[in-house]
Structure 1
């Protein structure tokens, strides 16, 4: 029997620890129950804090009291239906469901990869992986196995192609040139958390767009370098032959026709959008003529829905995949079918967040945590906010990365972490959007080595096509260089962004209270 190495033992421990965790929905139920019990304990000991804004005394609310039980029973339905991330995700996915169901997204991915020059093949595959995040599982199901076939056809290791695509799809999960379903989902959770401190605070789904759009190129470059300089030399060239069933077919005449229809529609939509936002009196500008607090930014989810749906319909009509309104509705329905477990999770998450807000435990823990954080910062003797940001955010990124190893759902983790860290860092002077951005970096970089990631088992199955004895350790050993390089590269990139004090999204500053 071969003796296991220290790394293998550690990875086995991570896998067992993650498998031992209850379902995320059960976790939220237990957390909600814990909040109810804690509210009674904290109320009994009369723990309170001074509100940093208005100087009022913040006392805990006991949910074990008559008033507390009344709140729990009478607000259960509205907690769920008014939970910010629920509607935004459902609406965005309806449009993306049409684009995916018509075949538009899959054909675009094939076209990008097939038309790329050999020298740029790796870069194109990693980039396509990042861009595929707009439609979630398409990248995992279509692009990852496709990239392996393409590399094999080029005489390169199929595992290297698979790794490059997986690195883009999962390791670059937060980066994108387009807004995806994760943007409104996380923004909704961040908004709920920010309102613990500021009841009127709004977090726009595009709040991290500038940083994440540029990060698309960063991840593409880093993924290319790791693939060609580290992973591929280790794996070597392929000596496997590509079977006819595995060959990638060129686009059919119908698919080309569909793309022409979609391109013409995209030109029209872009023209209409520019006409609506470029002039100072444009329809999608705010009443004062600015883009801040405008229908364009506030309605970004609706625009994602409409654009994806219209482009999907245009492609479907041209390609013949949409012949009636029933086909459009089927695409929407199919996208909703995948959300059953998400809706269950949201029900319990909504109760947890509501209880946390009602009890004032979020504000109390935020004030106490901020006081402790200020003590730590003052111990380092750093007064500059920019330098403090580096000191504060790096440990937070690392914490997010470690938690991701045992809890795969990005939204589930953020629903737990946001009510604590967003208010705490707001009190230190950092915007909720900045905290969310740091979380997204940590959450992304360890996706590719986390056995808890929902598509990890699928990646293992893809690798076993080419290496029958492969397992979880094989995937992690191949993907670990990406994870390390992405983490270091993204943190350094964030440092540069902080030093330049650039906005991270439209009208969004790194610091709380600034625009």
Structure 2
């Protein structure tokens, strides 16, 4: 499972990084089960909020109003959860926090389609084709790259690609946790990189525009402001993710001793027939979706702007479309390969998919309470503003200041999730400050996005982190040590180190060469 348990080499023969990761894993796995862990996190938040509230801890900063874009001085104090209001919040918000959790509906709906595709044998047959057609040395970069590209499709990568990564790696006789790590690194660690514009780009651009107008009322940060930088970053993260997976993470995990997926044999006639029917079903579905988005007045375009991407109905329904992309071809494959003989078999696949989600639902409920308590207490806002004040007082200028902001964003992300929520706090502080030093808002935004991406994969506050831990726990070896939060953090930490370091180097080189960040977006004003 991990070198900390499986490796026979003497500890002195390990490198400093491996020994450090062993300590992280042992310490993390000495902690309770993730469900109990998040219960303790919630209890700790309650106690800490009460203590800091009694001490009168507060911060004052210029907050941007989402609706008007106006900047207003705002004082935020730590809210105690042990007051009458706090207790009422915990009781009345418990169900709302659970049902409103970003991962809940996404993962349940997506698993309906995946469950039928899996029970019918479609996923196994497709993986067999992949194994037979893909060189083993290319599977890691393909998986990392697919993870990076998947973040344009909302949260689909977390609920589909990450668990699929384990199955793909097992199909190649490799460790399933390495597959989870590679996919998770691409989806979340490479969140800001992509070859296309996603929904995050216009969201951050709008916040940056309002912050820039504090000094220049006519300034506009477009959705493509960082496109060139993020385009190149896609290949950087793919290369780094591949290196970390193949040279650090998988060797450290060692030989997987659990039940392995059978190695791929030649395709059977039934499988070929099923895949042929699945292909036609997928093409018909794709044509239907295209008819709903390509015409100028198509129903899945934005009714006001006509946009396909961004906050359009198409992007909002991407999980439903993805579910159909597994469900319909899965059914077609089943009837073709004779693994489905009646509608009852489809129902069995749906029920089986939901029955496997029990532990995930419990983790979502408990972690949702913790996140809601943390948000109510204002602990995240106080940490973010305090960090911004500290950076302002350091006295750095130029590129060192920009690199310091990258690091601050990375550290802040450990305590406060959500790219837009942090940027709403940090943009009004740093964009005017950088503009006065001659740097464009687009440059400041790039620095923020680098830091915001790289620590997603090691913070339990990230929405999908406990769910990834649940996926990983499925590959716990019989009679072996448990897979806990420590396993996941130690497994993902090398990606954070290499992504942050590699991105900072690229950022510095880009700055020194004064390259454009996107169409019409320079580094200097």
TM tier, smaller: 0.5 to 0.7
Partner of 1:428: 426
Are residue 19 (structure 1) and residue 36 (structure 2) matched?
A: no
Partner of 2:307: 290
Q: Which residue of 1 aligns with 2:186?
A: 175
Residue 102 of structure 1 and its aligned partner are, at CA, apart by 1.8
SS at match of 1:249: coil
Look up the match of 2:405.
392
TM-score, normalization by structure 2: 0.63
2:368 and 2:236 map into 1 onto residues whose CA distance is: 35
Q: Please say if residues 394 and 491 of structure 1, whose CA atoms lie closer than 8 Å, have aligned partners that are also in contact.
A: no
Structure 1 residues 174 and 304, CA, compared in 2 at 3 Å: closer, same or farther? farther
Could you say what secondary structure the match of 2:73 adopts? coil
Quote the residue 1:265 is aligned against. Answer: 281
Aligned length: 411
- Secondary structure in 2 aligned to 1:52? strand
| CA 1:18–1:294: 2 relative to 1, 3 Å | same
- Displacement of 1:260 in angstroms is 1.0
2:244 and 2:449 map into 1 onto residues whose CA distance is: 30
Confirm whether residue 137 of structure 1 aligns to residue 163 of structure 2. yes
SS at match of 2:62: coil
- The aligned residue for residue 248 of structure 1 is 264
Q: Which residue of 2 aligns with 1:127?
A: 142
Deviation string for 1:191-221 (max 9, x for gaps)? 9xxx9xx9xxxxxxxxx99999987766666
Q: Which residue of 1 aligns with 2:117?
A: 99
Output one character per residue of 1:115-159: Cα deviation in whole Å (capped at 9) or x when no partner: 24xxx442146525865973543442x4334324xxxxxxxxxxx
SS, match of residue 321 in structure 1: coil
Structure 2 vs 1, CA of residues 123 and 286 (structure 1 numbering), >3 Å: closer, same or farther?
same
Instruction: Assess, with a 3 A threshold, how the Cα gap between structure 1 residues 170 and 359 changes in structure 2: closer, same or farther.
Output: closer
Find the counterpart in structure 2 of residue 468 from structure 1: none
SS in 1 for 2:79: coil
SS state at 2:348 partner: helix
Q: Does 1:333 align with 2:351?
A: yes
Superposed CA RMSD? 4.9
1:49-105, CA deviations, whole angstroms, 9 ceiling, x for partnerless residues? 335222233333332222222222222222222222212221122222222222222
For normalisation by structure 1, the TM-score amounts to 0.64
Mark the runs of 5 or more structure 2 residues left unpaired by the alignment: 1-7, 64-71, 148-156, 192-198, 211-225, 252-260, 428-444, 460-468, 481-490
CA contact (8 A) 2:136 2:172 kept: no
Residues 444-463 of structure 1: pairs in structure 2 closer than 5 A: 455=472
Alignment of 1:259-408 (within 5 A): 259-288=275-304, 289-291=306-308, 292-376=310-394, 379-382=395-398, 390-393=403-406
Q: Please give the alpha-carbon distance, in whole angstroms, between the structure 1 residues aligned to 2:401 and 2:55.
A: 34
**1:109 match:** 127
Task: Indicate whether 1:43 and 2:53 are aligned.
Answer: yes
CA–CA distance in 1 between the matches of 2:114 and 2:376?
Answer: 35
Alignment partner of 1:63 out of 65, 69, 81 = 81
Contact 1:280 / 1:290 at 8 angstroms: preserved in 2? no
- CA separation of 1:128 and 1:107: change in aligned 2, threshold 3 A: farther
2 CA distance for matches of 1:299 and 1:24?
31
Counterparts of 2:311 and 2:503, CA distance in 1? 30
- Secondary structure in 2 matching 1:55: strand
Aligned-partner Cα distance in 2 for 1:393–1:93: 36
CA-CA distance at 1:283 after TM superposition = 1.4
Contact 1:112 1:128 in 2 (8 A): no
Higher relative contact order (CA 8 A, sep 6+): 2
1:417 corresponds to which residue?
Answer: 415
Sort the Cα spacing of 1:502 and 1:23 in 2 relative to 1 into closer, same or farther, 3 A: farther
Instruction: Give distance in 1, aligned partners of 2:494 and 2:302.
Output: 46
Tell me how far 1:315 sits from its aligned partner.
1.7
Shift of 1:380: 1.9
Counterpart Cα distance in 1 of 2:245 and 2:350: 37
- Cα distance between partner residues in 1 of 2:54 and 2:242: 57
